[in-house]
Amino acid sequence: MKKISLSEALGGIEDTRREQSVMYPLIEIFGKSKKKWLKKFMRLEYGIPDACTLRNVIKEIDAKKLHEIFAEWMKEIARVFCMQ
């Protein structure tokens, strides 16, 4: 069974921001308190976005789609752990 990362799962979320104004990829929006750890897995070229950026991105995300994707990802994680 293929393990899917949260980054791959979140790929299903539409990024409605204007391409020319996007400084942070969606996956890098969340992580201020874990920057050092996250640097192991992400570029974080511009660091962690500030609260205004976080708020602006969150208000534009389709909450229903995010819920569906996250629930499916959690089911997959549970299946993987139950099979071990």
SS3 call for 19: helix
Ranges of H-type helices in 1-84 = 6-9, 35-38, 51-60, 63-82
Provide the pLDDT for residue 2: 64
Identify the sign of the CA torsion 73, 43, 23, 52. Answer: positive
How many other C-beta atoms are found inside a 10 Å radius of the C-beta of residue 66?
Answer: 14
Computed over every residue of the chain, the mean pLDDT equals 81
**Region of residue 44 (phi > 0: left; psi between -120 and 50: alpha; otherwise: beta):** left
**44-77 pLDDT tens trace:** 888 888 888 888 888 888 999 989 988 988 898 8
Which pTM value belongs to this model? 0.52
